[in-house]
Amino acid sequence: MGSKSPENEIQMTTKEPLTYLALGDSYTIGEGVEEKDRYPNQLVHLLNENTEKTYAKPKIIAKTGWTVDELEAGIKNEFIEGQTYDLVTLSIGVNNQYRGRSVTEYKKEFEQMLLKAIGFAGNLPNHVWVLSIPDWGVTPFASANDKDSMKVAQEIDEFNSAKKQVCEQYGVTYIDITEEYRQIGGKPEMLAGDQLHPSGLVYQSWAEQLYHSISNSL
């Protein structure tokens, strides 16, 4: 009478896996690669393999072509308001640049999106990581479509500068993946089949950078 059964002991000692919310666009959903090669999935694999913590499969809210306002609409459609996650990543803005929208508009929208991400992280800014916008101007897609790579690079830098300023304002870690991508993003093995989006090898690098930052912080 009153003794604990083995089943109860297991229930008492088993912890729920940690949760991860990945917000973004084509770079987050991994356009053109398998699910396992997406950077959120590779990040969870690294965390589970190399730390004592266990993360569940990432919750990804992202779609190819999304701008900041479209991401916001996508979040609303997922009905996750009020939920919190142990880890949140955010990668958004390339389509704002691609469509010729202003940096001023982007900075304002990104600030609101970052605040939303912080809310999903339980109002803990140190549980949110932001990736810079990759420079797609280095890809074969850009040259095949007669895009001015110098102009694209300049605009990407302006958008990233605005993004970084907002992250610093709210104490959120900003990871610069842009400079490395400019060196590797145009190589055949670093490209998905559409000659625009990254291959799993690029996402591996992003996942590793996130992993090192997260494992040193959490």
pLDDT, tens digit, 9 for 90 and up, residues 173-185: 999 999 999 999 9
Give the CA distances from residue 159 to residues 1, 65, 100, 117, in Å, rounded to whole numbers and listed in that order. Answer: 66, 17, 11, 19
Per-residue model confidence (pLDDT) at position 7: 52
pTM of the model: 0.93
Please, is 167 exposed, middle or buried when counting C-beta atoms within 10 Å of its C-beta (0-12, 13-18, 19+)? buried
User: Class of the 17-217 domain?
Assistant: alpha beta
Rounded Cα gap, residues 8 and 16, in angstroms: 15
Rounded Cα gap, residues 22 and 14, in angstroms: 25
pLDDT, tens digit, 9 for 90 and up, residues 76-118: 999 999 999 999 999 999 999 999 999 999 999 999 999 999 9
Per-residue model confidence (pLDDT) at position 19: 98
